[in-house]
Amino acid sequence: MDKIIALAGNPNVGKSTIFNALTGLKQHTGNWTGKTVELAHGFKCYGKFKFKIVDLPGCYSLLSHSTEEQIARDFLYFSEPDCVIVVCDATCLERNLNLVLQIMEICPQIVVCVNMLDEAKKKQITVRLDKLSDILGVPVLGTTARDGKGLNKLTCLMARGSAKSHWLDLKPISYPKIIEDAIDKMTNITKELVQNELPFRFTILKLLQQDKIFLDAIKNKYQNNTTYDKFIAEYNKLKLELEKQGYTPSHIMDIVAETFVKKAEIISESVVEMKNPNYDRKDRMLDKIFTSKITGFPIMILFLLMIFWITISGANYPSSIISELLFSFQDFLIEKAIYFNISPAIYEPLLFGVYKVLAWVVSVMLPPMAIFFPLFTLLEDFGYLPRIAFNLDKCFSKCKASGKQALTMCMGFGCNAVGVTGARIIDSPRERLIAILTNNFVPCNGRFPTIIAIITMFFAYETAGLQTSFISALILVLVILFGVFMTFITSKLLSGTVLKGMESSFTLELPPYRTPQFGKVIIRSIFDRTLFVLARAVIVAAPSGLIIWLFANIDINNISILNYCTEFLDPFARLIGLDGVILMAFILGIPANEIVVPIMLMTYLSQGSLTEINDLNIMKTLLIDNGWTIITAINMILFSLMHWPCATTCLTIRKETGSLKWTLLAIILPTVCGLTICFVFTQIANLIL
């Protein structure tokens, strides 16, 4: 039978790095809070032992009710792991010890892993590990997980702990007299009821706080036990005694929490030595720049501009090479199909439909993602992303939304489906829904090629070389800022209507600035993000290629179904400054936004399959010949920014919310905004011009 090892700790202490090193898996790691909000697990063999290692969500405490804390606490309490490894940050041990002490109340078989000793050394911080072990009565070891130092010893201690060997001398927490007296009164009856199945001290503490989750759990598990009625009678009697003395559940919770904090402070003072009290001076100096009211926003915009400029400049050439290779291979496949006398009715839908769509999606998506994601990950590892959330927190607070929504917006730049999933880091269900419903206002990697192409053709094509890329990037940043503005507006609208409520408080940790590990960043961003997002797009886009081909090649009275649809949509599309071809391209592009432009070109040229034009000058001429103006180009950009989510994102929203109603609202909200803004802009432009 596998030994279950729980991996616990505060956010951003290197827990996922240790998990990856022990299991060989690729749980995402980064320099910001809240990435692990569900239970990931992997396996590790050591001698005769086989460990199932469970990576718990990072949390600061087990006493409150955030999603992360509930998941971690319930696993530790109800799943009875054989051993718990509590990972701590050597540079801020006091805060981490608060969680260590709480876990000791639940699981006596623990190992304290003091990680990031390399950073502590740089900051001239020394942790006396032996003394900490003596005080706590459990094994303590130091590690530098990024370099793999200390992990072999950690594995050895895991084996000892999971074998239920006796630790040195586990020291129980001593609470104020009123709490200890209450625990003493309930100890015998609680032990009689739960036997050795549950940690009795922690059980009593949660009952004193009248925690409904624990009360229900005890009832469901033991209500048929003959001791249960006696247990409840004792509990109710004690509860009345405490209330008469003025101790409410919230008061008891405060006393318990304060006990942990004071104990952590005392222990930290005795085992931590700081030779340089100003060790974080550089971080604070950088924070004064990055989070300043004056410089914070300009620097944030500058970073965006830099990332998109590099992405636009670097993606064009590899994109054209990949496109040429894939479409050359298509020609080869066609030749072979003809050579082997395969019927056109078989190979044309597959090659001109499915394959061509896949080739386009890969050639358009892969290069910019392979550039964007490593740059984004570098900022993440550097520690800048939480500063973005800090800068935008006041804006979201005014909209009665969570500042953590800024982090989900950042994820949305790569893929809106990832941004929707990332909303799990937001504790409040109301605020999480707001983040999910508004994430589509941030343009994803699939929409960038369309927006960039339109910007380059109509606003930056007269310039040359890098200047074109810079102007395109600058206009793209303005478009993104407008999307962020719409996120604020719709968040405020939702908070005042279907999702009424006040913004909740949350802890936003500003982690220390760290030098990114460039090699690991590139590998992680390519495999964990770029290829993952690309694979999802390919899976959804493949069947759409067949549908598009059928629409373009099945004729009724010598007119294709596609042309019938575009003619039907044209009068309505003209009202919003587009045409039927553009609107139909967006509808058929629901599986993947990358194929909107190819569908549009295919329809304009009356071709039977997706059409590629690499020369933007030729493409611009084609668009103008089909009635495009500057107004059309602007509306195309606006509607690309604000329309229904792609199929992958819709499925993700349905999965995350568990509700068809919220999924439909996530589709309707950006679409209505896009239609309204395009209509208003078109009417005003027609009056002026």
- Binding residue numbers: 9-16, 20-21, 23-24, 34-38, 55-58, 115-118
87 beta partners: 9, 113
Question: Could you tell me which of 552, 312, 609 has the C-alpha nearest to residue 454?
Answer: 312
At a CB cut-off of 8 Å and minimum separation 6, what does 300 contact? 388, 391
Residue with tokens 């054989």: 82
Q: Residue 443: which of 404, 406, 468, 479 has the closest Cα?
A: 479
Q: Which helix (H) or strand (E) holds 47?
A: none
CA 611 to chain centre: 35
Lookup: tokens for 33:
């809070």
Q: Which residues pair with 51 in a beta bridge?
A: 3, 44
Residue partners of 363: CB distance under 8 A and separation at least 6? 319, 320, 322, 323, 326
Helix (H) or strand (E) run with residue 40 in it: strand 40-46
Token pair for residue 342?
């395969």
Helical (H) or strand (E) element with 186: helix 177-194
Q: Is 53 helix (H, G, I), strand (E, B) or coil?
A: strand
Dihedral pair phi/psi, residue 115, rounded to 5°: -95, 170
Beta strand pairing status for 3-9 and 49-55? parallel
Residue 609 token pair: 């399959």
Residue 423 belongs to what H/E stretch? none
List binding-site positions for GTP: 9-16, 34-38, 55-58, 115-118
Decide if 512 contacts 280 (C-beta within 8 A).
Answer: yes
Record the tokens describing residue 209, joined without a space.
Answer: 């706080």
Binding-site residue positions for Mg(2+): 20-21, 23-24
Is-contact 578 586, C-beta < 8 A?
no
- The CA distances from residue 129 to 85, 121, 173, 491, 546, in Å, are 15, 14, 20, 48, 63
Residue 300: CB atoms within 10 A of its CB come to 18
- 447 touches 414 (CB < 8 A): no
The DSSP bridge partners found for residue 86 are 8, 112
> How far, in Å, CA of 102 to CA of 97, rounded?
9
